[in-house]
């Protein structure tokens, strides 16, 4: 019966995450899922994303699965640790219950609430996030391919300067 329940869980994961979910092993379940913050699929507004590995043992779901961040974009180490700790606590809370979709949605919620860039602006070299301000009201931009981020104002200043420099040479 447990294997049948897990099979239904894996079907649910496939239905919810489609091509972003890769089932590596059906029993005990082992999968990787690409997770992004909820931004209505507006890629320029997604500053973080992960590939989460969920690997369960023979005693799943009575024993929670192990989690690993296989690929991380935009999340600093502190937020990675907070996410993994939160996933472990949530999995322990859900022990003996189907949890694959719930755990994945927990991670998506975390990414949504932590959807801001890390590090310094590529132009001015000041921190991207001002801790004194609500990050929801700060404006950033990112390069889509590599997730390098910068302040919108810095990019605008650079863009205005660029044509002037090009015509001078």
Same-domain pairing of 133 and 61: no
Q: Give the least confident one: 15-19, 33-37, 73-77.
A: 73-77
Please give the residue that has the higher pLDDT: either 39 or 144.
39
Please give the residue that has the higher pLDDT: either 91 or 131.
91
Mark which of 65, 86, 113 sits at the end of a domain: 113
What angle do helix axes 2-17 and 100-113 make, rounded to 10 degrees?
40
Q: Show the DSSP H helices in 99-151 as ranges.
A: 100-113
Same-domain pairing of 91 and 130: no
Average pLDDT of the chain to the nearest whole number: 88
Same-domain pairing of 100 and 137: no
Same-domain pairing of 162 and 134: yes
Residue 35 DSSP one-character state: E
Separation CA 157–CA 25 (nearest Å): 51
**What is the side-by-side strand order in the sheet with 21-25?**
21-25, 30-35, 49-55, 66-73
Same-domain pairing of 91 and 124: no
Q: How many domains does the chain have?
A: 2
Exposure b/e, 122-144, CB count within 10 A at least 16 = b: beeeeebeeeeeebeeeebbbee
Mark which of 113, 139, 156 sits at the end of a domain: 113
Same-domain pairing of 162 and 88: no
Both tokens assigned to 48? 């973080």
Query: What CATH number has the domain bearing residue 74?
Result: 3.10.110.10
Separation CA 110–CA 87 (nearest Å): 10
140-142 and 66-73 beta bridge pairing: unpaired
Same-domain pairing of 72 and 130: no
φ, ψ for residue 30 (rounded to 5)? -140, 120
pLDDT at 26 over 80: yes
Percent with pLDDT over 70 in the chain? 88
Same-domain pairing of 106 and 130: no
pLDDT at 169 over 60: no
pLDDT at 148 over 90: no
Report the phi/psi class of residue 40: left, alpha or beta, with left for phi > 0 and alpha for psi in -120 to 50: left
Mark which of 69, 85, 113 sits at the end of a domain: 113
Same-domain pairing of 61 and 100: yes
Q: Show the DSSP H helices in 22-133 as ranges.
A: 77-93, 100-113
| pLDDT at residue 166, as a whole number | 60
| pTM to 2 decimal places | 0.84
**Residue labelled with tokens 């975390």:** 110
Same-domain pairing of 80 and 142: no
Range of the domain at 23: 2-113
Same-domain pairing of 21 and 54: yes
| pLDDT at residue 91, as a whole number | 98
Same-domain pairing of 20 and 68: yes
pLDDT at 105 over 90: yes
| pLDDT at residue 116, as a whole number | 86
């Amino acid at each position: 019966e447990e294997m049948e329940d897990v099979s239904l869980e894996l079907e649910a994961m496939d239905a919810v995450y489609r091509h972003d979910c890769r089932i590596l092993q059906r029993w005990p379940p082992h999968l990787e899922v690409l997770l992004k913050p909820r931004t209505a699929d507006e890629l320029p507004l997604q500053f973080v994303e992960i590939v989460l590995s969920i690997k369960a043992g023979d005693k799943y779901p009575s024993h929670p699965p192990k989690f690993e961040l296989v690929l991380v974009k935009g999340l600093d180490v502190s937020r990675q640790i907070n996410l993994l700790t939160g996933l472990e606590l949530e999995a322990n809370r859900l022990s003996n219950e189907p949890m694959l979709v719930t755990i994945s949605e927990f991670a998506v919620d975390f990414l949504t609430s932590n959807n801001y860039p890390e590090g310094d602006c590529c132009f001015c070299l000041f921190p991207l996030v001002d801790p004194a301000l609500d990050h929801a009201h700060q404006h950033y931009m990112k390069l889509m391919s590599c997730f390098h981020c910068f302040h919108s104002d810095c990019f605008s200043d650079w863009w205005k300067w660029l044509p002037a420099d090009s015509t001078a040479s």
